[in-house]
Structure 1
C-alpha cells in the first residue's frame, strides 16, 4: 500500500488519509466506478487502493539526482506514500511513478510548441498582478508559456493534452513549486501554490461529479 507520509521541512502532508478516501470513493460501485469505461483491475479492487507501494528514499534521491534538483516536500511525500496513481478525475489517466517523471521539454516538446507557438520571448508577458492570483479569482488564461519548458511532467493521459505539471520557476517561501493543471478545455491552466493544493482541489472536483 505504501508507507506513511514522511516529514519534510517541518510539514507533514496527510497523503494517506486523502488518497485512501479517494480510493474508497472511486471504487464504490454506486458512487463512481460504474462511470468508467472499464472496471478497475481486480488487484486494485481487492486492495482498495488506486496507488502503488511508496517509493523508497533511495529512489527519490536517484530521481532528484537525475533531474538535478530537490523536489518540493508535498510531492516527495506523495511519492513516499504512493509511487504513482490511477485516475484522479476523468481528465487525468494516471500520475506517473517516479521512474517515468521528467521535464516537459524532454517528454512532450510538442505540448510546449503548441502552447508557445514558437519562441516564448515573442509572447506578451503576463504581469505579476495578473499572474499571482490563486483560487476562484484566477484567470486560467493568465499563463506564462515561457515557464513550460522548465516544468516537470508528473501525469499522463493517452491521446490528450491534459496534464499535471510542477513549475520550479515559481517557488513558495517553504519550497513548494507552483502546480498546474493544463487541460484541453481551458484557455491556459489552473494553477496552485503547491501539488498538495492541486490534489485537494482535484479531489473536491471529483466529489462534485457524484
Structure 2
C-alpha cells in the first residue's frame, strides 16, 4: 500500500477509470485510504452499482460519486437523496441545470446528519469556446465558468469542478472555503485524451486548488505508483 506525505499540496482523488472490477481493485489495493480519495463515475457505477461503493467503504475510502446529475428539480432531489443514503463523501451535479435544480439538490441533503459535499460541475474539460457557441452560448468559456461557480455558491453548494486556471478567480468570487476540484491533471508526456482544459501537477500547486482528480494518466500507466509518486513530488 502506497503511503506518502501529501501535506500542503492539493489532496488527490483517484478516478477509477476502468471497465472491469478486477483491474480497478489492483490499483485500489496499492492505495492508502488515509491519503487518497476515490472517484466513481458513470461507467463503473453503471456496471457495479452501490455494492461496489459499500466494498470501497469497507476498505476505508471516501468516495466521490461523480454522476453529474442534470434533470428536473424533483428528479435531482430524489437522486441526490439516494446517493447520500450510500454514505458517500462527495457528489457532483451539473451547475447548468439551473437555480431551481441546484437548490432542490441542496434541500435533499438537509435531513442528513453527515451529508456529502455537493459540488457543481461548471464546464466539462473537453469543452472549447467553439463547443459553447454550438450550443448557443456566446460568452467566453472563462466567463461561463465564473457565472456557474457563483450560481452554485449562491445556491449553497460546497464547491465546483473547474479548470485549475480559474481557481483563483472563483475563490475571490465565492470565498476561500469554497472547494475547488480540478480534473485534467496531465504530466508533460501524457496524452490529453479528450480533454482540453488541462494543467500539469506543477501548475496545480500554484493555484488555490483543494483537490485534483487524477484518472487516466494513472490508470493507463504501466507503473501507476511510480506515476503517482512523480505527480506528488512535482507538487511539493
TM-score normalized by the length of structure 2: 0.24
TM-score normalized by the length of structure 1: 0.25
Higher helix share: 2
